[in-house]
Chain A
Amino acid sequence: EAQVTQNPRYLITVTGKKLTVTCSQNMNHEYMSWYRQDPGLGLRQIYYSMNVEVTDKGDVPEGYKVSRKEKRNFPLILESPSPNQTSLYFCASSLSTPNTEAFFGQGTRLTVV
């Protein structure tokens, strides 16, 4: 089954404790991205990747890191989480560019206390 898998689904952590949210897709997609969803703001892009070893900042990259060492994986790293990073996070993949349909993971609800 074609899918994007995110883990964990829910996470509560404390300020400053490094965490990683994993994302994996099995569709051989080139384009992957991370979004955060906050009430009234829609989805805002954090980082995206056009292919292996190619990543770039989205609209709200501060406080986040990503890596794309393999085509299928695109982890999101919060080196020192802060309460303003409490949000719902989505990973997505598309065949080649964001001009094509995006497939989304189930989302990760992160709470930073």
Chain B
Amino acid sequence: AQKVTQAQTEISVVEKEDVTLDCVYETRDTTYYLFWYKQPPSGELVFLIRRNSFDEQNEISGRYSWNFQKSTSSFNFTITASQVVDSAVYFCALSEASYMDSNYQLIWGAGTKLIIKP
């Protein structure tokens, strides 16, 4: 069965520190998609990244980077030189939507609350 685990409930760091948010997933499919979303204190959900299971290249976007490792079923998210504006809840999610088995759900982790102290 699909499952996404974000073991870190809350992380608190001082501004400018690097921080990594862990995401471990379970799936039986060979084709699947992984996502990260950000939920700032204002409450909206913001898309950060989408990665398919055939692309294990790490991705960097400014201070954000993602490390996808199929061998460990992990899709970790690192913020370099964190800033107070990075404070938010971050969610990892998994989709293995397939017309063949009629599975059209997006499964979410419980989220990691990241607090960046000035």
Residues of A within 8 A of B (CB): 31, 33, 35, 40-45, 48, 50, 56, 58-59, 88, 90, 92, 97-104, 106-107
- Closest chain-B Cβ to A60's Cβ sits at a distance in Å of 12
| B43 contacts the other chain (CB 8 A) | yes
Would B110 and A33 count as touching, CB distance under 8 A?
A: no
Would B47 and A102 count as touching, CB distance under 8 A?
A: yes
Given the contacts A101-B50, A104-B45, A42 and B105 also touching, CB distance less than 8 Å = no
Would A44 and B108 count as touching, CB distance under 8 A?
A: yes
Proximity bits, B82-94, A CB within 8 Å = 1, else 0: 0000000001010
**Per DSSP, are chain A's interface residues mostly helix, strand or loop, or mixed?**
strand
Q: Report, nearest first, the 7 A-B pairs whose CB atoms are least far apart.
A: A98-B106, A97-B97, A104-B45, A42-B110, A98-B95, A43-B108, A42-B108
Would B110 and A98 count as touching, CB distance under 8 A?
A: no
| B73 contacts the other chain (CB 8 A) | no
Residue numbers in B under 8 Å from A31 (CB-CB): 104
Q: How many A-B contacts if CB must be within 8 Å?
A: 56
CA distance A84 to B85 in the complex (A): 33
Can you identify 7 A-B contacts, CB atoms within 8 angstroms? A31-B104, A42-B91, A50-B104, A97-B95, A98-B104, A98-B106, A104-B45
Would A106 and B43 count as touching, CB distance under 8 A?
A: yes
Residues of B within 8 A of A (CB): 6, 9, 33, 35, 37, 43-45, 47, 50, 52, 91, 93, 95, 97, 104-106, 108-111
Residue numbers in B under 8 Å from A99 (CB-CB): 33, 52, 95, 97
Would A33 and B47 count as touching, CB distance under 8 A?
A: no
Residue numbers in A under 8 Å from B95 (CB-CB): 97-99
